[in-house]
Chain A
């Protein structure tokens, strides 16, 4: 804490689109009281001032090279609390799609011979490298959820995320079920908190907020099959944000 009792907060970005930090900028501006209750000491995308004295670190983006690990460990040793911000940091996110290909091939395809100078490796979430104290899920994060969590932090209260499925929020919103419309949707196995924004807009849930602790993948696959969704669609959606987790699932789940 600073002398005035305000927690010092820093934001960091690794491989990402910076859309989560953008969501934070938008959310904070709509909550000036919250902005008053903290001291932001580092936020490269939005401000020039910079300090390495902070207690809370929010990290956006995936770890994609060894030099990232060094920077992550430095953040961990400084901060009392470290949070992953968004799917790239929390799950590995879309960056991990490339783990299904050889990294040499990936580099070669985009940059040709010049790509050999690279030191990139298989992308991974932040908690594959350092211990984290919590995560704010989503691609991008939900601005209201960020504000709720930040308020809890400032007040020293425990941080809780919904432990029920996107399906629950979808039903409460009285959306038409996209699966019944023949579309693939991961809403029944994905953690809620986004207010089912994708199904509400007529698109199946992509699972960007990660699996529920007790996700019933087997049942979802049966349900998708019964509604005529092509068998490949489940894996294609799972791999979009959760390739890193997907590699660890049992072979019966992957099939």
Chain B
């Protein structure tokens, strides 16, 4: 340890790769003392909240989905919910089921992309998924099969995953045929060997051993593993209605950084698959609980690297839940429904969904059918303070290892959060001196 106390360290990872959007990691240590440990957000800001103002309410979700190519369905669904609450639009049970099924499509797509194509290369010693196509074709083909099915679920319900077109305020403008649902169900059931192999693959990966307890926040419902609506729940205790989101996110700006951070009951909190897993474990499908057991994670899990393992658990859950939803849709008889019309054309509404990478809020004011105010709070923004707290806690522990190793561990840490930097609604370009 004597060596680490005197160590100097300069890490500047410019453009973290295999993440969505542009970010840098900057770490400086002098004489073993950590001077700087930051995740810089260098994405060009896109000002979606200003762009949403003036949009006719029905067009808001079309624009909002363009915040992110990976979580387009999450942004679109959350935007729909904000408008629907503002204008008092009630949804039918079929609409709610179709939205959940569609949502599972995106969750599967995003988690498979992240776990297989962005995270797994670190553990398999390659720079990307591309060489794996030759060295481990069965792994890549399996990921592709799962992604293909995920995409086809979204395509059957809303035309495509990026960017959805069949969803509309109050319902849908397009409906899957009964035959399509039956085919999707068959393919979901046939996926079980791929699911087992996925759990086995990630079970075998040697995730870094690092624990740091923090506050975990996710949406919660009593009777389902919640992705849409519900209430806001914390592992530190507390259950709040979605409308009170500003009291939980408490966005603040720091001297050293112009990116907005968030904190609730501690200095930072974590959102995403691991937070959902920690809060909603009881509502997981039994097969997903079995997968968690196989992956050796249980709530409350405080190793952020295991966010990827929690995603794998959610993959199992989403496949099983999707099968159940299809059964319910088929039992009730899938049918054409005209979208429910608004009860009014002015009002305020806050929508919340769990994007693949964590809780997402859209909050709109609408006057005479046009958006007048908009606020969007995205998961990666909420995670920033927590990622930096992890980095500050991790670096001193590994300071006496090689600079290369430290860089790799930090980059893997940031990647584990599955950051989505393009969702830059609330992030600033950060410059450090």
Chain A residues contacting B113 (CB-CB under 8 Å) are 22
Query: Given the complex of chains A and B, what is the CA–CA distance between A59 and B199 in angstroms?
Result: 36
Whole-angstrom CA separation of A13 from B68 in the bound complex: 13
- Interface of B (DSSP majority class): loop
* A229 proximal to B (CB < 8 A): no
B93 contacts A by Cβ under 8 Å: no
Q: Which residues of B contact A97 (CB under 8 A)?
A: 51, 63
Name which of B26-34, B166-174, B347-355, B397-405 contacts chain A: B166-174
Nearest residue in B to A108 (C-beta to C-beta)? Answer: B50
CB of A208 to closest CB in B, whole Å: 9
Binary contact readout B39-65 vs A (1 if CB under 8 angstroms, 0 otherwise): 000001111111101111001001100
CA distance A110 to B163 in the complex (A): 24
A67-85 vs B, CB cutoff 8 Å, 1 = contact: the mask equals 0100000000000000000
A107 to B62, CA, bound (A): 22
User: Is A19's CB under 8 angstroms from B45's CB?
Assistant: no
User: Are B18 and A46 closer than 8 Å at their CB atoms?
Assistant: yes
User: How many residues of B are counted as interface, with CB atoms below 8 angstroms from the partner's CB atoms?
Assistant: 60
| Cross-chain contact A19 with B69 (CB below 8 angstroms) | yes
In the complex, which residue of chain B has the Cβ closest to the Cβ of A68?
A: B44
Interface string of A162-187 (1 = CB under 8 A from B): 00000000000000000000000000
Q: Which of A25, A120, A202, A237 contacts B174 (CB 8 A)?
A: A202
Is A114 an interface residue, CB under 8 A from the partner?
Answer: yes
Q: Determine whether A94 belongs to the interface, using a CB cutoff of 8 Å to chain B.
A: yes
Asked if B206 CB lies within 8 Å of chain A CBs, one says no
Q: Is B4 an interface residue (CB 8 A)?
A: no
Contact call A201/B18, Cβ cutoff below 8 A: no
Contact B130 A240 (CB under 8 A): no
Which chain A positions have C-beta within 8 A of B426?
Answer: 110
Nearest CB of chain A from residue B342's CB, rounded to whole Å: 16
Bound complex: CA of A17 vs CA of B73, how far in Å? Answer: 13
* Contact status of A139 and B17, CB under 8 A, knowing A19-B162, A19-B163, A197-B160: no
In angstroms, Cα B173 to Cα A33, docked, is: 37
Does A139 lie within 8 Å of B66, measured CB to CB?
Answer: yes
Of all chain B residues, the one with the shortest Cβ separation from A112 is B253
Contact-residue size bin, chain A (C-beta under 8 Å from the other chain): 35 or more
Question: Does B68 contact A17, Cβ atoms closer than 8 Å?
Answer: yes
Chain A residues in 8 Å Cβ range of B11: none
**How far, in angstroms, from A139 to B63 measured CA to CA in the complex?**
11
**Cβ of B129 and Cβ of A46 under 8 Å apart?**
yes
Residues on A with beta carbons closer than 8 Å to the beta carbon of B144? 29-30
Tell yes or no: B185 within 8 A of A by CB.
Answer: no
Considering the chains assembled together, what is the distance between the CA atoms of A47 and B129 in angstroms? 7
Q: Which residue of B53, B133, B162, B253 is within 8 Å of A109 (Cβ)?
A: B53
Given contacts A98-B47, A98-B50, contact A22 B62 (CB under 8 A): no
24 contacts between A and B (CB under 8 A): A15-B46, A17-B68, A17-B72, A18-B20, A22-B162, A35-B133, A47-B18, A47-B127, A47-B129, A48-B121, A49-B127, A49-B128, A64-B44, A93-B66, A97-B51, A106-B51, A110-B48, A110-B50, A110-B425, A111-B258, A118-B45, A139-B66, A197-B160, A203-B173
| 12 more A-B residue pairs beyond the given contacts A14-B44, A25-B117, A202-B172, with a C-beta to C-beta distance below 8 A | A16-B69, A16-B422, A29-B144, A46-B18, A47-B127, A47-B128, A48-B17, A105-B50, A111-B45, A140-B163, A203-B174, A236-B59
Footprint of A on B, CB under 8 Å? 15, 17-22, 44-51, 53-56, 59, 62-63, 66-70, 72, 113, 117, 121, 127-130, 133, 140, 144, 147-148, 151, 158-160, 162-163, 165-166, 168, 172-174, 253, 258, 422, 425-426, 428-429, 431
Q: Which residues of A contact B (CB under 8 A)?
A: 13-23, 25-26, 29-30, 32, 35, 40, 43-50, 61, 64-65, 68, 93-95, 97-98, 100-101, 105-107, 109-111, 114-115, 117-118, 120, 139-140, 197-198, 200-203, 206, 232-233, 236-237, 240
